[in-house]
Amino acid sequence: MEKMVAERVQVEARARIADRFTQVRRRTLALCEPLSAEDMMVQSCPEASPAKWHLAHTAWFFESFVLREFLSGYRLFNPDFSWLFNSYYESFSDFPEKRLRSSFSRPALDEVLRYREHVDAGIERLLESDPDPEALKRIELGANHEEQHQELLLTDILSAFFTNPLRPTYREQGNEAVRGREGRDQGTKGLRNQGNRAVAIEFQDYEGGLREVGHVGNGFCFDNELPRHRVWLEPYALAHRLVTCGEYAAFVADGGYRRGDLWLSAGWDAVKSHGWRAPLYWTEEDGANENGNWTIFTLRGPRRLEEIADVPVSQVSFYEADAYARWAGYRLPTEFEWEAAAEGRLIEGNLLDSELLAPCRVTDLNPNQDGAKHCYGDCWQWTSSAYLGYPGFRPLEGALGEYNGKFMSGQMVLRGGSCVTPQAHIRSSYRNFFPAETRWQFSGIRLARVTC
């Protein structure tokens, strides 16, 4: 009887995971539809990878951590791919330097697509058998892994198209799917020019106290979300929406990038050594002064600042987020303040599923709702927390232990997902992380302050 229950659970898990696998794999390909094989070769900055590499590496992940171990009789699609598309798993195999990925003209895109089909067929075969529960876990991990690369693929393509002096557009406005969900039917309205009418920022108070943070429940999570543990929080308040381009432009116009006293020391060094004057994709017309004339490059093409003044600012580094907060008289939240506020809320917002592919105007906040709507989506939110292991953190066994743990040094935590994060991927305990100088992500600013 118990065994039957266990079997039914396993059957259901298998069905659910098979479904998830299929959808994730399909979406990855859909994201590549606007791209040519040539587009998928570009690696425009050291952080980025070519889109073709993302296609291949996500297949490699399933092949290396699922099929090799769990599908008996599995034939490697191409033994060279085992090391060629390894990203950074030292204990799995050697791998090429990251910068070489732009030289992978071979294998051709066609061959990479066949690689994906070969792997898909393998996973399907495995799912049709009675797979080891560990295999199922690995497939689920692989689906989540691929969703991370979906997001990276889009951020990398934005960088690639910004780097191309012709500045091509990934997707024109207006052809995104318009979904029926309330608040989502506005099409690209989020990107249209309706003047700067962002709702004023309000702060919502939280009590703090001894709270539990970290993942809870049976659902999927990464190893870095565990163990769930207690933290003590002083009372605090969080802004009910993100900082907008228009607000950020006021900081720029006020000499924000010329006043060392507003910045962390390492941030000020970054400003000076890189010559930062605005967020990453903001460009100025010749002869413009700092008061304006900014154009902002997006996956939907260039936008005038005036058009999107009430849209959350994106592509800022932690240093810029921190300096903005200091200038505005606030601070950034810790990751635990964020998580304690988000836990239990519905996961909705401008995520990848909205297909807007850019942050959308904050005027659309329903005044009858609390801040929940803007809890998730639009931009990852820099926190003031360094990315470290939780008390008692244990990485996964084997090479997969390198997935998250070895990066717990020199990076800051971001929370909440962005307009290119799949909705199924995000949750309140999810920890994204990047070095403080990183700017090519959809990363923005939520303000916090102490309450007393």
Q: Which residues bind a copy of itself (CB under 8 A)?
A: 36-44, 52, 80, 83-84, 88, 90-91, 96, 100, 102-109, 160, 163-166, 168, 210, 229-234, 260-261, 263-268, 318-319, 322, 334, 384-386, 388-389, 391-392, 402, 406-410, 436, 450
Distances (CA, A) of 413 to 317, 333, 391, 417, 430: 12, 11, 16, 12, 10
Q: Tell me if 62 sits within 8 A of 22, measured CB to CB.
A: no
| Beta pairing partners, 382 | 414
- 133 or 255: CB nearest a copy of itself: 255
The two three-digit tokens of residue 20, written as one number: 């998830």
Least distance CB 260 / a copy of itself (angstroms): 4
Least distance CB 370 / a copy of itself (angstroms): 24
Backbone angles phi, psi at 149, to 5 degrees: -75, -25
Q: Tokens 């910004």 belong to which residue?
A: 162
Which amino acid type is present at position 18?
A: A
**3 state SS of 77:** coil
Least distance CB 4 / a copy of itself (angstroms): 35
Closest of 172, 159, 163 to residue 34, by C-alpha: 172
| Whole-angstrom distance, CA of residue 434 vs CA of residue 1 | 48
Question: How does DSSP classify residue 76?
Answer: -
Which amino acid type is present at position 81?
A: F
Q: How far apart are the first and last CA of the chain?
A: 56
The DSSP-derived string for 352-384 is GGG---S---GGGS-TTS-GGGGTEESSEEEEE
The two three-digit tokens of residue 156, written as one number: 């990398």
- 233 or 447: CB nearest a copy of itself: 233
In terms of Cβ atoms closer than 10 Å to its own Cβ (0-12, 13-18, 19+), residue 451 is middle
Helix or strand run (H / E) with residue 205 = strand 203-206
